[in-house]
Structure 1
Amino acid sequence: MSHITLIRHGQANSGAQDEASYDKLSTLGHQQSAWLGAHLRAQNQHHTRLYTGTLTRHIETAHAMGTDLEPIRDARLNELEYLTLARALETEHNVPFPQDQAAFTTHLPQVFAAWQRDEIAGAPERFADFEKRVWDVLCEIAAGDGPALVVTSGGLISMAMRHVLRLDIQAMAQMALAIYNTSQHRLFPIGGTLSPTMFNAIPHLEDPDRHYAQTHV
């Protein structure tokens, strides 16, 4: 079993109102990704495999990192469709779509909780199915040879942490809200199972002149 380093994509189009519009990196997102790649090379971190989802923001992040590894694209690493879920929750249960960051931080836990309870008829996939596909793909990657980089999204990373830390849905939502763009999260094999040994690391953004690039959305 090999360790996995999960990476959240760079900043995307945070002002988007739908999934398609959100799915591209901002100028800052490209820069964050390039800084991360340079940091990994400077630290001489060794990885033998690179995986991404099939979303544009995942692919653009991996490309901007400048790694020599050929990415393996797997749709099971794609993000949950928060904006689709939010619109469905609004239509079905009259829960207003968030209009600013403050509203988003209270809205996301509501979405996660309703989704877990199967109360969103228009959900593109069931919560249980999302949970299963995330853990299935991570177990397959861990079973491969050599350390792996996985470029994905915050919701998927929070689901992975929910599994290994046995988090309830509210804790998972709070974790999702905390995840920085281009942050690193490591799952390491200990005692025959994957355990978290790193969460939300952004050493490439810690210099004072890069603090502005520490973004969550």
Structure 2
Amino acid sequence: MSLLTLVRHGQASFDADDYDRLSALGEQQARLLGQYWANQRMAFDEVYTGPRSRQQKSAELVGMGLQQAGLVWPEPVILSDLDEYDLEGLLKRLAPRLVELHPEFAQLMKDYQCSVGEQNRLRDFQRMFESLLRHWQSAELPDEDIESWAAFRNRVDRVIRRVQEQSGRGRRVVVFTSGGFIGGATQQALKVSDSTALELNWRIRNCSLTEFVYTRNRFSLDSFNTIPHLSDAALWTYR
């Protein structure tokens, strides 16, 4: 059996002009994971990362911790299939259409746009975003310029097959990606519904670890959303 570890990127820059960069706290989360693995004398055979800056920077900071401890850190391989779903397309293309067609969604969007204060904005964004993703998943308003839920799930499956087919027995593989991908991989392992995949996604903490044991023909969840390197609750974030 081999072990696949999926790492969600550290906290990104919510409500900033450029969301796709780690916050100072996100960088700290990644460094702490690197230190934790260095203390555990962890060694990985393969490292993969998604194309986003927040994913690649997380991998870089974790790798620095292991390298500084004299441990091997393979050169990360960037895979476009490890990207998150099309967040920009959903917010800029699908959301305006939903505002026009669904009064309940329009109210959620208004609540978010009018909210003041970091915690209120995080709460109201999450409520709006959960509704947005459910509409996207249902494919009620297909848009050829937005990746569909089905296409997104196919991406997740491709990566899992790649890892299963290219890795030998007893290998350790680590992947730096985003919450949606991790929710999709967990869905595949547990054979749960699409709606449950979204519920799993929303619970995944920044810089958390979700692990799977696998062979060429088997893919099983071993642990979900663990944060042994973040002992202080002040370091726990979801966005």
TM-score by length of 2: 0.81
Contact 1:181 1:216 in 2 (8 A): yes
Residue 102 of structure 1 corresponds to which residue in structure 2? 123
- Inter-partner Cα distance in structure 2 for 1:70 and 1:191: 24
Deviations 1:110-131 (A, max 9, x none): 2222222222444521111110
Question: In structure 2, which of residues 172, 179, 182 is the aligned counterpart of residue 157 of structure 1?
Answer: 182
**1:128 is matched with which residue?**
150
Q: Deviations over 1:16-58 (max 9, x none)?
A: 47xxx21111111111000001101111223111000111111
- 1:179 aligned partner: 204
1:49 counterpart = 2:46: yes
Percent of matched pairs sharing the same residue = 29
Q: Which runs of 5+ in 2 are unaligned?
A: 67-72, 100-104, 114-120
Report Cα offsets for 1:184-216 as digits up to 9, x if no partner. Answer: 00011279311100101101101xxx3211111
Matches within 5 A, 1:1-217: 2-16=2-16, 21-65=18-62, 66=64, 67=66, 68-94=73-99, 95-96=105-106, 97=109, 98-99=112-113, 100-122=121-143, 124-143=146-165, 144-145=167-168, 146-189=171-214, 192-206=217-231, 210-217=232-239
1:83: Cα distance to partner?
4.1
Equivalent AA in structure 2 for residue 130 of structure 1: F
Counterpart-to-counterpart distance in 2, 1:43 and 1:83: 38
How has the CA–CA distance of structure 1 residues 101 and 72 changed in structure 2, closer, same or farther, with 3 Å as cutoff? same
How many residues are matched? 211
In the aligned structure 1, how far is the partner of 2:140 from the partner of 2:90? 11
Q: Which moved more, 1:41-50 or 1:90-99?
A: 90-99
CA gap of 1:137–1:55, structure 2 versus 1, over 3 A, is: same
TM-score w.r.t. the length of structure 1 is 0.89
SS of structure 2 residue aligned to 1:44: coil
- Which protein has the larger Cα radius of gyration, Structure 1 or Structure 2? 2
Paired residue type of 2:74: L
* Alpha-carbon distance between aligned partners in 2 of 1:4 and 1:32, rounded to the nearest angstrom: 20
Distance 1:104 1:168, change over 3 A: farther
| CA pair 170-191 structure 1, distance change in 2 beyond 3 A | same
CA contact (8 A) 1:13 1:23 kept: yes
Structure 1, unmatched stretches of 5+, are none
